[in-house]
Every structure is written in structure tokens, then in C-alpha cells.
Amino acid sequence: MANYTAADIKALRESTGAGMLDVKKALDEAEGDKAQATELLRIKGLKGVTKREGRTTSNGLVVAKAGEGVGTLVEVLCETDFVAKNPKFGELADQVLAVAVETGAADAEALLAATADGKTVQELLDEANATLGEKIEIKRVARIEAATVTSYLHRTSPDLPAQIGVLVGTEGGEEQTARDVAMHIAAFSPSVLSREDVDAETVAKERRIAEETAREEGKPEAAMSKIIEGRVGAFFKDNVLLDQPFAKDSKKSVGTVLEEAGAKATAFARFRVGA
């Protein structure tokens, strides 16, 4: 009988994040040697990395850090919510975020190539892939520089880590105003900051659809221009942050709220896991 205890199994599971059966098999093969069992788990896990490359990663979490005029947001994905809730996965995400902050990485490719403790972030992910037994990847990274950058993380379920993350850059105003806007972004998912950020082709398409729809509905020609502009305006309210009705007071737009607070939004980023 192998020379290990239930406490050894528990300790190895906690240190590696591997499943119960995998831990027991590794300890059996290593004859109770925890260091060797850890190595075996890594080796066997790494053998399966390429097999997992084609798998879908639709779970995971978002992590963020903001301060001193810079904010960083990272989305780390895995296959199941079981792994997403694993403390080892959360620790990995925090480690990856720290590297992103330190190196100034602004996209996933740059972050994966960045180095931490002599290993690239990609190597860290491969090791976690091995021990946790799932495909793990960094999907998106955002970095914002502004006079003030505020971050907000939102849990869509109490038993899951944060699934929505927001960064918003502002100038002027109070911290609470920026935080309120960040929470609004999390809830209402704007696509762009201002109308100027919507490309002309998209606006022309929306105007054309509005006109064709109005004519199909038999609207009077005299009212056509007003109807078209009203429907294009509704498109802006759905997609443009500054035009959206503010979450805390729908009678005012986000732009109006910022203006009244003496603040200006300069940039934002929003990630939702798997979206």
C-alpha cells in the first residue's frame, strides 16, 4: 500500500488544483512522494495540453487594477465553472494581471509573451492547464490611461468570480461619479464612448434601415425626416455611452450626468466572460 494519508491527498489537491483521482494515481505511482507526485501531475497534464487546444473556453473570470492614471483589465478563460471557482485559477488570474500591470501589456499577444519569475505567461498558462486539466487562455486585455481610471468588477452569480469587468477613464469630477458610470457600463454594455466613435458607414446603414422601415410602414412623407432622425437617435441611445439614459436617473443621459458633475469620460473598456 502506498505510503500516504488523506491529509497528503488534500494537501496535494490544494497545491496543484488537480482532481481527487488524479492525485491518488500520482501518489500511488510516486509511492507517496509528494514532490514526485506533483511532477507526475504536471507531466501528465502537459501531455494533454495539445489535445485540449480545440476545446471551447466559455467560462472564467475578469480581473482588473486601476491607479495612478492607468487601468488594466484581463479576461482569463477556462472550460467549466468548476475550474473558474477553483482558488488556484483565481491565483493564476491575479498573477497574470500583475504581469500585465508591470509590463504595460495592452493586448493578449503581448501579455502571453511577457515574463514573470523566469517564465512567460504562456508557460504559466500551460502549467495551469496541466494541473487543472482544462484549456486555459487569455482572451482579452485592455489598458487605459487617463487623469483618473476607475475599475469595477461585477459578479453575475454569487458562487462565481467576477464575470463582468469595466475600466473607465475620466477627467475632473468626484470618484463616486466615475464609479457610478463604471457600474452603468457594466449593466448597459455601450459599444462606444461618443457619437463620433460610430463609423460613418454604420450611421448611414442605420439611417437607410430607418427610412426603408418607415416607408414600409406607410409613414407620411412630411414626417419622414423626423422619424428617421428619431430612430437613428434611438440607435445612439442603445450603443453610445454618453447618449444612454443613466442607470440611476433615466431622465438624464450619462453625458448630462458627467457634465453636471464637472467630469468628462475619455475612454472605457468592458469585458463579459465568454462574450
CATH number at residue 13: 1.10.8.10
Query: Do 11 and 77 reside in the same domain of the chain?
Result: no
Query: Do 41 and 75 reside in the same domain of the chain?
Result: no
Q: How many helices (H) and strands (E) does the chain have?
A: 12, 10
pLDDT per residue rounded down to tens, the chain (275 residues): 567 888 888 887 777 666 667 778 888 888 888 888 877 776 666 555 445 455 667 899 999 999 889 999 999 999 889 999 999 999 999 999 999 999 999 999 999 999 988 889 998 998 888 788 788 999 999 999 999 999 999 999 999 999 999 999 999 999 999 999 999 999 999 999 999 999 999 999 999 999 999 988 899 999 999 999 999 999 999 999 999 999 999 999 999 999 999 999 999 999 999 88
Residue 53 lies in a domain: no
Residue 97 lies in a domain: yes
Query: Do 71 and 173 reside in the same domain of the chain?
Result: yes
pLDDT at site 228: 93
Which residue range forms the structural domain that includes residue 126?
59-192+262-272
Query: Do 150 and 268 reside in the same domain of the chain?
Result: yes
pLDDT at site 27: 86
Residue 120 lies in a domain: yes
pLDDT at site 150: 97
Residue 209 lies in a domain: no
The CA distance from 88 to 26, in Å, is: 19
Extract the runs of DSSP E, i.e. beta strands, from the chain.
59-67, 70-78, 115-116, 119-120, 137-145, 148-154, 164-172, 245-246, 249-253, 263-272
Query: Do 15 and 120 reside in the same domain of the chain?
Result: no
Query: Do 129 and 182 reside in the same domain of the chain?
Result: yes
pLDDT at site 49: 45
pLDDT at site 62: 98
Handedness of CA 191, 194, 196, 200 (dihedral sign): positive
Supply the pTM of this predicted model: 0.79
Residue 168 lies in a domain: yes
pLDDT at site 43: 64
Residue 217 lies in a domain: no
pLDDT at site 134: 83
- Name 171's bridge partners: 264
The CA distance from 128 to 89, in Å, is: 8
- Please check whether residue 108 is in contact with residue 140, taking contact to mean a CB–CB distance below 8 angstroms: yes
Query: Do 41 and 130 reside in the same domain of the chain?
Result: no
Structure-block grid coordinates of residue 39: 511532477
Query: Do 182 and 71 reside in the same domain of the chain?
Result: yes
Query: Do 81 and 153 reside in the same domain of the chain?
Result: yes
φ, ψ dihedrals at 173, nearest 5°: 75, 180
Query: Do 117 and 11 reside in the same domain of the chain?
Result: no
Domain count, the chain: 2
Query: Do 31 and 70 reside in the same domain of the chain?
Result: no
Residue 235 lies in a domain: no
Residue 247 lies in a domain: no
pLDDT digits (tens, 9 = 90+) for 38-72: 777 766 665 554 454 556 678 999 999 998 899 99
Query: Do 94 and 166 reside in the same domain of the chain?
Result: yes
Task: Tell me the CATH number at 121.
Answer: 3.30.479.20
Extract the runs of DSSP E, i.e. beta strands, from 109-199.
115-116, 119-120, 137-145, 148-154, 164-172
pLDDT digits (tens, 9 = 90+) for 1-24: 567 888 888 887 777 666 667 778
